[in-house]
Amino acid sequence: MKSKTKSKQVVLSVPDMHCASCPKIITIGLKDLKGVTSVATSLDTKKVTVDFDPSKIKINDLVANIKESGYAALPAVALAKEGSNTIAVDKTEHDHSTMPTEVISPASDVSSTSQVTLLNLTGMHCSSCAGLIERSLKKVNGVTEVNVNFASEKARIVYNPSTAKVEDLIKGVESAGYSASLPGEKEENQKEKRQKEISYWFTKFFLGFVLSIPMILFMVYDFTSKVPLESTIMPYAGIASLILSTPVLFYVGSNFFAGFWSALKMRTFSMDSLIAIGTGTAFTYSVYEYVKYFQQTGSLVGLNGFKVPNLYFEVAAFLITFVALGKFMEAKAKGKTSQAIEKLMGLAPKTARVSRNGQQIDIPVEQVIVGDIVIVRPGDRIPVDGEITSGYSAVDESILTGESLPVEKQVGSKIFTASINKTGSFEFRTTKIGADTALSQIVKLIEDAQGSKAPIQAVADKISSVFVPIVIAIAILTFVVWYFFLGATLTFSLLAFVAVIVIACPCALGLATPTSIMVGTGKGAEYGVLIKGGEPLEMAEKIKAIVFDKTGTLTKGKPEVTDFINYLPGDTSILSILYSIEQKSEHPLAEAIVKYGQSSGAVNYPLDDFQAIPGHGVKAKVNGRVYYVGNRKLMEQNGIPLSASFDMERFENDGKTAMIIADSQKILGVIAVADQLKETSAHVVSKLQKIGITVYMITGDNRRTAEAIARQVGITNVLAEVLPQNKAEEVKKLQDSGLKVAMVGDGINDAPALTQADLGIAMGSGADVAMESGGIVIISNDLNGVLTAISLSRETVGKIRQNMFFALFYNVLGIPIAARALAFAGIVLKPELAGLAMALSSVSVVTNSLTLKLYKPGKFNWVSKLAPYAMVAVFITIFFEFARFSSQMGGMEKSTALAAYLVNNPSVQTEINQALINNPSRIGMVGKLPKLFLGLDSLPQSLKLAEGSLDLSAENSVIIGSVEASMMKGEGLISGVGSELKDFFGLPSVKIVGILEQTGTALDEYHVFNRSTFDKLLAKEDILVTETGMGELKMFYLYDRNNIPALLRSVVNPLKRSYTMGNMKFLPVTIGYDEAAMMKSEKLISKKLDTLKDFFGNNVIVAGLPKRTLTSLDMMHFVPREFKDNYLNSLKTESSVMPTSEDSVN
């Protein structure tokens, strides 16, 4: 007896299997090999068990075949099928780099040497991210085409597999700062994923908002003096803002800095770049100013009841918080629509009942292989594609075809995954599994269409790529011009840079689209319309042609009996006989006839010998007499004359399905069943045609039936006998003729056409995938929703464009002001107000979007139309009011402009100096704070007034310098000209008659009285005012043991009257912080104990360099009283000149 060939078994490890499709792909490949007897794969263990004939095939051949399928394999275990003998296997190194890619559609424009893969992306948060990923992937060797879709968070990549591997593509995404995975890997439920995104941004926004609330209070103090506890709270504003803004910037804003870094690595800029640069500069500069303040004052809190100056932590915090709000609203807008592709894939059953070795077993659908016999019972969903081998039934294929009528199936009929078996049972042989099924192919077509990039997105990307660098360039140019060409201070120039970046920050741009979409889609839902994003919104107004699918769109999708002709009018039993027979029938139209019989009062007769005749009809005996119900062929086979032919053709010409009831001799009646048109179909078609839109109908019906239905609704353009997979091609033909096409459908078979169309409008009664593919969905299933969708889309797109205009309008108006282009006119915009203006731009965008809430179909929205004009006026007012207020707030911005004014008008500077030198000055203290007083009867007429007059003739009247007036207003002591001060340094009351414009000189700190009033002041004459030969004003505080200012008692030693070095006597001088900084810059002194000879008639030694006090004391020299006597004596012999520096005494 001939020995039997021993079968062998090997277990191969395939670590790259990652989804349900992988085992199928591997199984198909292996089963094609000669010598392989069986294949079993396990996704859980990532192992493949193969039974094979070792005389015909080797293990290495199996490994090579799996590699050809796109996977790396390692032999794990090899056993003899009989006898458990181990086969020795060399565990050679295999390439793990090859990973599975999607099947390329024949329609794809891809060369035979290329492959296409889809990657799921995570970490994108703006359209700029998509651009960065594209640029990074295009740098991967072997990649020929990349499309990244921000909305679907997928990348479609065409590449040469011999050059690039999937791991290379994933690394390309990661190098741009994002994450990628193959479909099926780490894939979350899309609804959960979207909810996580919404929660993520809400958490960030909420945290930023909570931490920013205290900083709002700090900003309020800049605007009003009516908030209590200012002097108690404001000194701590700096340290509090630093602590609060740090987590806002580096946690809430971490995404933007990561995006900035990714863009930087790609040598480009994104919207993240502006946000990161603006907030980072404001924060870094604030830290720098805070450290400098600490070095100057030795204090971490503000002095004299004021906040630490020049800190802009709140600007950084507010910017990040508002952008996070925009991202939250954007995520919520995107989350408004369900993600149904995943749900569509879930329509396929998880298990299948197959017949193996004479037994029926339930197995996971992943284990079904081509050739398996699958058993289907009534009510089951079909698990895979196949061909019926036995049995008969009607199958509901509406999930695939969109046609509501069940389709009769018999031996030889093809059936498809996810369709529903109605009543009968049958068996079928599997022909297609996994990615090859009709359902999977439709899903792939949808994913392909959704993965392609819309042209408008490319335009938006281009604008973004240009806008950001231009803004940065303007900001840099602003700094360079002010600092290097106009001689402004570093602080002033840097603040101008920050203000430009801040005012141009794209918060309003970020809110423009999502807020409009959110409000527009919410309003649309009220009227049964779901709008799913900016792209369909913009496309809706461009539509020139609309293609309606027939079944379920123009029709109701529910068959009904429309006509019944009884050829024996006196015999009422005909309908009852028909009703009784159809109750036993499994025909798809039987349910409609039964309902008709019930509503007509038909009687149910008992039946004998009921028999279904597949493809023709049924027959049965009623009271011993044979009756037939069916089509023409059934009558012909039984020799029954077709006397009802005319009526049947008439019904068919009206788009109806006609069936005959007859006995064995003649026709007794004809009944017609049709899918009725919706009541609104004709009205909607007429309205669309009136607004200039060409209407088409597309259907798989025969032309006669299709044209009959089209005539009823007024459609003259009919696309008939179109197979489901060809509908997209018909849409493309219309597009190729130059039309912008909208497709209105309700079935999964419409999904490729919906995605192919410029605008997909899906009816809500259809399958979820159609809703997924449609850019607009008519949720209510009312065709009037198509009209509403177009009008609402047009208004919503109008709002988006208005919002974009407002955002750019803010930039055009705000950037020049922020750049201090009008500083010479006293018009500036401080960074904190620039930040607030930016915030208000965001609020205005949201407000403009909210006017969409007043939308009503067919009504004119007056508020929405007028709002843009009102907002333009508000915008202009806001900017100039903020600029005016910034000017009133004073500070180095205006000082720089005024310094330039004084350089160009030296006579004004001279007049101010002479007024201070030639008239007596006094100093008094309010607590620790100094107050300066000047006595003269008239001020120079060249001085500018902020308010009031220069008239000091009235007794007890006073004119106040700008800095002092600003402080007194801030403390609530005065409101302006006309205010009175009670019990003022010995005077019962004084009245404010004028407030000077800022001069940039010591005069800004003074109270000016006429000589009569001045003489009554209880203030000391401890101030000596003079000037250098170069016209620089110098102020000396003359001290003794009893009048040392409290702020300097730890620095000035009144008991040390002089120093003697050699034969020379030196008077001690303590120099205020600002004056010392100036003298150091002029290299007159460098440190403590430096000496100055002939310093205003005195030899002096620098005895002290105090910290900054942020008062007028910072601009004074503190000297013993004898300094004045020496100075006056020196004037008798020669003019005072500035001395030169000497070495210090050590």
- Do 182 and 300 sit in the same domain of this protein? no
The whole-angstrom separation of Cα 645 and Cα 939 is: 115
Nearest to 1001 by CA among 883, 1117, 915, 1077: 915
Highest mean pLDDT among 14-18, 406-410, 611-615, 875-879: 406-410
Tokens at residue 145, please? 């085409």
Q: Is the pLDDT of residue 879 over 80?
A: no
The whole-angstrom separation of Cα 11 and Cα 62 is: 11
Q: What is the DSSP letter of 749?
A: G
Placement of tokens 């999937």 in the chain: 166
The whole-angstrom separation of Cα 551 and Cα 775 is: 20
| CA-based R_g, the chain, Å | 44
DSSP 605-637: ---EEEEEETTTEEEEEETTEEEEEE-HHHHHH
Better pLDDT: 649 or 890? 649
The whole-angstrom separation of Cα 700 and Cα 703 is: 9
CATH of the domain at 164: 3.30.70.100
Residue 1074 in 3-state DSSP?
helix
- pLDDT at position 885 is 63
- Do 701 and 781 sit in the same domain of this protein? yes
DSSP 529-563: EEE--HHHHHHHTT--EEEEEIIIIIEEEEEEEEE
Q: What is the DSSP letter of 94?
A: -
Nearest to 1087 by CA among 1099, 1074, 1071: 1071
Picking from 791, 814, 848, the residue at the C-terminal end of a domain is: 791
Q: Directed axis angle between helix 271-297 and helix 237-247, to 10°?
A: 150
pLDDT band at 80 (very low <50, low <70, confident <90, very high): very low
- Do 914 and 936 sit in the same domain of this protein? yes
Tokens at residue 574, please? 């005909």
Q: What is the DSSP letter of 823?
A: G
- Do 546 and 690 sit in the same domain of this protein? yes
Placement of tokens 């107004």 in the chain: 541
- pLDDT at position 779 is 61
pTM of the model: 0.54
Nearest to 471 by CA among 38, 76, 835, 815: 815
Nearest to 587 by CA among 552, 620, 554, 626: 620
DSSP 90-157: ------------PPPPTTS---TT-EEEEEEEES--SHHHHHHHHHHHHTSTTEEEEEEETTTTEEEE
Strands 529-531 and 717-719: unpaired
Q: Is the pLDDT of residue 661 over 80?
A: yes
Q: Considering only 23-37, 194-208, 990-1004, which range has the smallest mean pLDDT?
A: 23-37
Instruction: Note whether residue 2 is domain-resident.
Output: no
Q: pLDDT tens digits for 818-859? A: 888 877 766 777 766 676 676 667 667 777 888 888 888 878
Task: State what percent of residues in the chain have pLDDT above 90.
Answer: 25
Task: State what percent of residues in the chain have pLDDT above 70.
Answer: 78
- pLDDT at position 151 is 56
Residue 565 in 3-state DSSP?
strand
The whole-angstrom separation of Cα 260 and Cα 270 is: 7
Q: Is 113 exposed, middle or buried (0-12, 13-18, 19+ CB in 10 A)?
A: exposed
Nearest to 1014 by CA among 1075, 1086, 958, 1071: 958
Instruction: Note whether residue 91 is domain-resident.
Output: no
Amino acid at 157: I
Tokens at residue 396, please? 């509901």
pLDDT band at 480 (very low <50, low <70, confident <90, very high): very high
Q: Considering only 166-170, 221-225, 680-684, 1116-1120, which range has the smallest mean pLDDT?
A: 221-225
Q: Is the pLDDT of residue 220 over 80?
A: no
- Do 942 and 1076 sit in the same domain of this protein? no
Residue 496 in 3-state DSSP?
helix
- Do 1088 and 1130 sit in the same domain of this protein? yes
The whole-angstrom separation of Cα 554 and Cα 655 is: 13
Rounded (5°) CA angle 1011-1014-1018: 155
Q: Which residues of 455-490 are buried (b: 16+ CB within 10 A; e: fewer)?
A: eebeebbeebbebbeebbebbeebbebbbeebebee
Nearest to 848 by CA among 840, 838, 836, 837: 840
* Mean pLDDT along residues 462-473: 72
Amino acid at 142: G
**How far from 674 is each of 405, 659, 661, 962, CA to CA, in Å?**
10, 11, 17, 88
Q: How far is CA 1125 from the centre of its chain?
A: 73
* Mean pLDDT along residues 1009-1035: 90
- Do 636 and 774 sit in the same domain of this protein? no
* Mean pLDDT along residues 1003-1017: 94
Q: Is the pLDDT of residue 130 over 50?
A: yes
**How far from 145 is each of 120, 880, 1000, CA to CA, in Å?**
16, 49, 62
- How many other CB atoms are there within 10 angstroms of residue 266's CB atom? 18
Query: What is the set of active-site residues?
Result: 549
Nearest to 1034 by CA among 1123, 905, 1107, 966: 1123
**How far from 487 is each of 292, 295, 731, 1002, CA to CA, in Å?**
21, 25, 65, 21
Instruction: Note whether residue 106 is domain-resident.
Output: no
Q: pLDDT tens digits for 325-384? A: 877 876 665 554 334 345 556 677 889 999 988 888 998 888 888 889 999 998 899 999
- pLDDT at position 65 is 81
> In the β-sheet with 759-763, what is the strand arrangement from edge to edge?
529-531, 776-778, 759-763, 741-745, 545-549, 694-698, 717-719
3-state helix, strand, coil in the chain (%, to 5): 45, 20, 35
Instruction: Note whether residue 636 is domain-resident.
Output: yes
Q: What is the DSSP letter of 976?
A: S
Instruction: Note whether residue 444 is domain-resident.
Output: no
Q: pLDDT tens digits for 1054-1082? A: 988 889 888 889 999 999 999 999 999 88
Q: pLDDT tens digits for 15-46? A: 667 555 567 667 777 877 888 888 877 765 67
Q: Is the pLDDT of residue 144 over 60?
A: yes
Q: Is the pLDDT of residue 1052 over 80?
A: yes
Picking from 851, 869, 898, the residue at the C-terminal end of a domain is: 898
End-to-end CA distance of the chain: give it in Å, rounded.
Answer: 120
Q: Considering only 218-222, 312-316, 539-543, 783-787, which range has the smallest mean pLDDT?
A: 218-222
Contact 989, 1009 (CB under 8 A): no
CATH of the domain at 379: 2.70.150.10
**HSE-CB for 64 with a 13 A CA cutoff:** 6
Q: Considering only 341-345, 419-423, 706-710, 866-870, which range has the smallest mean pLDDT?
A: 341-345
Q: Is the pLDDT of residue 433 over 50?
A: yes
Instruction: Note whether residue 88 is domain-resident.
Output: no
- Alpha-helical runs (H) found in 782-905: 784-818, 831-850, 862-889, 892-904
> Looking at the 3D structure of the chain, how many domains does it have?
9
Contact 402, 724 (CB under 8 A): yes
- pLDDT at position 434 is 82
- pLDDT at position 403 is 53
Quote the mean pLDDT of the chain. Answer: 79
- pLDDT at position 756 is 86
Rounded (5°) CA angle 267-272-278: 105
Tokens at residue 1030, please? 């170069």
**How many residues does this entry show for the chain?**
1146
The whole-angstrom separation of Cα 461 and Cα 1069 is: 64
- Do 198 and 320 sit in the same domain of this protein? yes
The whole-angstrom separation of Cα 1130 and Cα 369 is: 113
Nearest to 587 by CA among 559, 551, 566: 559
pLDDT band at 115 (very low <50, low <70, confident <90, very high): confident
* Mean pLDDT along residues 520-530: 69
Highest mean pLDDT among 230-244, 581-595, 753-767, 1093-1107: 1093-1107
DSSP 45-77: TTEEEEEE-TTT--HHHHHHHHHHTT---EEEE
- Do 817 and 877 sit in the same domain of this protein? yes
Q: Is the pLDDT of residue 1102 over 70?
A: yes
Nearest to 354 by CA among 379, 382, 378: 382
pLDDT band at 936 (very low <50, low <70, confident <90, very high): very high
Better pLDDT: 516 or 142? 142
- Do 609 and 493 sit in the same domain of this protein? no
Better pLDDT: 517 or 966? 966
- H or E, element range at 415: strand 414-415
Q: pLDDT tens digits for 609-642? A: 888 887 678 999 998 899 999 888 889 899 988 8
- How many other CB atoms are there within 10 angstroms of residue 92's CB atom? 9
- pLDDT at position 93 is 33
Q: Which residues of 649-666 are buried (b: 16+ CB within 10 A; e: fewer)?
A: eebbebbbbbbbbbbeee
- How many other CB atoms are there within 10 angstroms of residue 310's CB atom? 19
Contact 71, 21 (CB under 8 A): no
Q: Considering only 393-407, 693-707, 901-915, 972-986, which range has the smallest mean pLDDT?
A: 393-407
The whole-angstrom separation of Cα 542 and Cα 688 is: 13
* Mean pLDDT along residues 719-724: 80
The whole-angstrom separation of Cα 823 and Cα 1065 is: 49
- pLDDT at position 751 is 75
Q: Considering only 106-110, 224-228, 539-543, 1102-1106, which range has the smallest mean pLDDT?
A: 106-110
- pLDDT at position 919 is 93
- H or E, element range at 564: strand 555-566
DSSP 876-905: HHHHHHHHHHHHHH-SHHHHHHHHHHHHH-
- pLDDT at position 249 is 93
Q: Considering only 449-458, 460-469, 878-887, 961-970, which range has the smallest mean pLDDT?
A: 449-458
- pLDDT at position 994 is 95
Instruction: Note whether residue 93 is domain-resident.
Output: no
- Do 803 and 860 sit in the same domain of this protein? yes
Q: Is the pLDDT of residue 95 over 90?
A: no
CATH of the domain at 598: 3.40.1110.10
Contact 1119, 1037 (CB under 8 A): yes
Better pLDDT: 70 or 135? 135
Q: Considering only 175-189, 280-294, 484-498, 761-775, which range has the smallest mean pLDDT?
A: 761-775
The whole-angstrom separation of Cα 557 and Cα 791 is: 27
Q: Which domain holds residue 1016?
A: 905-1021
- Do 535 and 550 sit in the same domain of this protein? yes
Picking from 1021, 1043, 1066, the residue at the C-terminal end of a domain is: 1021
Instruction: Note whether residue 815 is domain-resident.
Output: yes
